[in-house]
A = this chain, B = another copy of it.
Amino acid sequence: MTKNKQILLAKRPVGTPDQDTFKFVETDIKQPENGEVLVRTIYVSVDPYMRGRMIDAPSYVAPYELNDVLGGGTIGEVVESNSNQFAQGDIVLGQYGWQTYYTAKEDEIRTIDKDIAPISTHLGILGMTGLTAYFGLLDIGKPKEGETVVISGAAGAVGSVVGQIAKIKGARVVGIAGTDEKNRYLKEELGFDEAINYNTTNNIEEDIAKASPNGVDVYFDNVGGEISDAVHANLNKYARISICGAISKYNIEGEDIGPRIQMTLIKKSASMQGFTLYDYADRFPEGSEALAQWLQEGKLKYEETIKEGFDNIPDAFLDLFEGNNIGKLLVKVDNQ
């Protein structure tokens, strides 16, 4: 009989996670009871925020327990239904993590529309990723036409959508990413005005100033650390900083030490706001509608890096911190 393969949290990482962080197990598949369906996983999402859930500290989502199934968003196919809301063959979105099968209660999953775009986009530009970009930029950054928006982690899943939405809103868009290939993609494919390679620059603060001759009005921050310090030095009066992530600091041991931001915020009458997508849960329909429409109008492009094979999920996750991927990182599960 087919088994359910799972990846569990074996050990809480200190510093950079490694293979000891993860444990592969096989369990029996639980047959769906009344109101439940059995879902076979097709795609799993690997996202930076999962690093935060691996440690035992209060945050915006509960930490994983030791021996919990890791991961988050998933897309799968209903293979057996004991619910009148789902039929065999339905493609569904859930949050059941890194396992090959899942027996879901009917209120834990929802059917996704296969006609708008490839189903994988519901984990990316039409899913959490796109919504994170949408609310973080528009609700906190509030870019106005002609203003300059700077984005760190610009070629990542969220950053690449942020830049395109900023262009839709008429802003000048400057991306910061770690390779020339990514920067070519940002400028040539996504229409960013400028792109800065933080790995090859001699003076990132000056490069940001050059790329932003009118200063920085909105900073969408995915990375934190020294790159962000350099952006802060270029803020305009009344600048808005939207703090989505700080991936450069997720794996450091000890505190994240650097220049305190208070004096800069006073001098610029600037604001800095952290957020997580679930702050906007009651506005998801608004965001989803806008993203789907822009995608269908050809105003939004997206890139996915899809790795193959369930066993490669930990490697894919660790790759996030190497900065090797463009766009949304997914793993396609080979479980048929």
What is the interface of chain A, defined by CB distance below 8 A to chain B?
A: 52, 58-60, 221, 224-225, 228, 237-238, 243-246, 249, 255-276, 279
Contact = CB atoms under 8 A, between A and B. Distances in A.
Contacts of A59: 267
Contacts of A255: 259
Contacts of A279: 238, 269
Contacts of A225: 260
How many subunits of this chain does the assembly comprise? 2
A279 to B, nearest CB: 5
A261 to B, nearest CB: 6
A243 B265 contact: yes
Given A228-B262, A256-B263, A262-B228, A272 B269 contact: no
A271 B262 CA distance: 12
A257 B261 CA distance: 9
Contacts of A228: 260, 262
Nearest to A268: B274
Contact of A263 (B238, B249, B270): B249
A266 B221 CA distance: 11
14 contacts: A60-B267, A243-B262, A243-B265, A244-B266, A245-B266, A249-B260, A255-B259, A256-B259, A261-B272, A262-B272, A265-B273, A266-B276, A269-B279, A272-B273
A225 to B, nearest CB: 7
Nearest to A140: B271
A266 B225 CA distance: 14
A245 to B, nearest CB: 7
A151 to B, nearest CB: 15
A270 B260 contact: no
Given A228-B262, A244-B266, A249-B262, 10 more contacts: A224-B260, A224-B262, A243-B266, A246-B266, A257-B260, A258-B260, A260-B260, A261-B272, A271-B271, A271-B272
